[in-house]
Amino acid sequence: MPQATGVKFQLHPTFLATSETVGDLRLCHVRIQADARWPWAVLIPRIAGAREFEDLSAADRAILMEEVVLAGAAVRAAGQALGQQVEKLNVGQLGNLTPQLHIHMVGRRIDDAAWPGPVWGVGVAEAYDPKTLSVAMAALREALRV
């Protein structure tokens, strides 16, 4: 069981190349995906060795669900700050490539680059310009209170 290993949580290095730090909630480290096509947060429970929801305790899973809802509101707020009306949240826990439990929270619009399909693996990430990234980051941080 991951909680019992005594191994300290370390962020998988893959996230460093694709996202930037937003802050830490009670359970999850939160990042913003470095892709200006969508307001997109990534939640990573700070539990060493976890790959699936079943690797968390039931108590941590309940916290995670509430952090998912909070992060959804934050993604909506980031979309609004960017002038993008989020019509639907997409929540995904896949982890086929990155072997560390993480949850994608993606704000979708009916005119976005992948609608109505999923965003994962679609096209190439568009880098944020620094000013736009700071607007999105500020909106996420305000909504998450981090």
| Burial track 70-94 (b if 16+ CB lie within 10 A, e otherwise) | bbbebbbbbbebbebebeebbeeee
Of the candidates 83, 68, 93, which has an alpha carbon nearest to the alpha carbon of residue 144? 68
Q: How far is the CB of 68 from its own copies (least distance, A)?
A: 6
Q: Give, as ranges, the residues between 116 and 135 that touch its own copies (CB under 8 A).
A: 116-118, 120-121
Residue 81 contacts its own copies per CB under 8 A: no
Residue 89 contacts its own copies per CB under 8 A: yes
Among the listed residues 51, 125, 135, 141, the single contact to its own copies using CB under 8 A: 51
- DSSP at 113: S
Among the listed residues 34, 36, 80, 93, the single contact to its own copies using CB under 8 A: 93
Within 13 Å and on the Cβ side, how many CA atoms surround 55?
17
Residue 97 contacts its own copies per CB under 8 A: yes
Within 13 Å and on the Cβ side, how many CA atoms surround 144?
30
Residue 17 contacts its own copies per CB under 8 A: no
Residue 100 contacts its own copies per CB under 8 A: no
Residue 73 contacts its own copies per CB under 8 A: yes
DSSP reduced 3-state for 60: helix
* Site residues for its own copies per CB under 8 A: 51-54, 58, 61-62, 64-66, 68-69, 72-73, 88-97, 108, 115-118, 120-121
